[in-house]
Amino acid sequence: MAKFKITAGVAGFTGESVGVHFRDGLAEVDTYTTQGVSALSYFRSAGYGIVPMDGVEVDDAIRSATFTPDDEARQLRREIAAMEQVDDLDGLRKRHAELRDKVERREVAEADAAPAKPPKGGQLADPPEGDKVGDWRAYAVEHLGVSDAQAKTMNTQELRGLYAREKAAHDAG
């Protein structure tokens, strides 16, 4: 249990507020009774000045006065679980960054190993006539300088777009 010095919202107030007597704008309240806890909660929510007299913070005093030990244990378990989730999330973020770096390194290696694009001014082979994604992927690998791994991640529409951009660049060059 704890004691607090309360400063009224009106300077110099003498009288009673929520069962607590003020004199010249000051009062003392403790958390030994339900009335004291209720008054302290009200004073906190109403913006009264509150100074701990024995080092116990207001929120801690109210919590310990209103929570049973079982309630407090459940609350602490929830707080611990929340902290563990943050740790798990940090671990997932780290793993995500590691995988992203690994993919980037692999893409660079594949790009270095990819066949060269057709020379400027040379003939760009005609694309497949159908919509079969396998035909378009093979065409992209063979004629557009796309790695096999990259081609496998693309659908027909993306491959057609790549061809259109390459054709436009080829024709402009």
pLDDT score for 165: 87
Hunting for tokens 């107030």 — which residue is that? Answer: 13
CB 26 within 8 A of CB 6: yes
**Which residues have C-beta within 8 Å of that of residue 82, sequence separation ≥ 6?**
none
pLDDT score for 114: 54
pLDDT along the chain (173 residues), means of 10: 91 93 95 90 92 89 76 82 80 84 79 55 80 89 87 88 86 76
pLDDT score for 92: 82
Q: Residue 160: left if φ>0, alpha if ψ -120 to 50, beta else—which one?
A: alpha
Rounded Cα distance between 147 and 157, Å, is 17
Q: Give the global pTM.
A: 0.40
pLDDT score for 111: 67
Rounded Cα distance between 128 and 156, Å, is 11
pLDDT score for 43: 94
Domain locations along the chain:
3-66, 68-113, 116-173
Burial level of 8, CB count in 10 A (0-12/13-18/19+)?
Answer: buried
Radius of gyration of the chain (CA): 36
**What DSSP line would sit under 118-168, residue for residue?**
PPTTSPPPPPPSS--HHHHHHHHHHHS---HHHHHT--HHHHHHHHHHHHH
Rounded Cα distance between 40 and 18, Å, is 9
pLDDT score for 113: 61
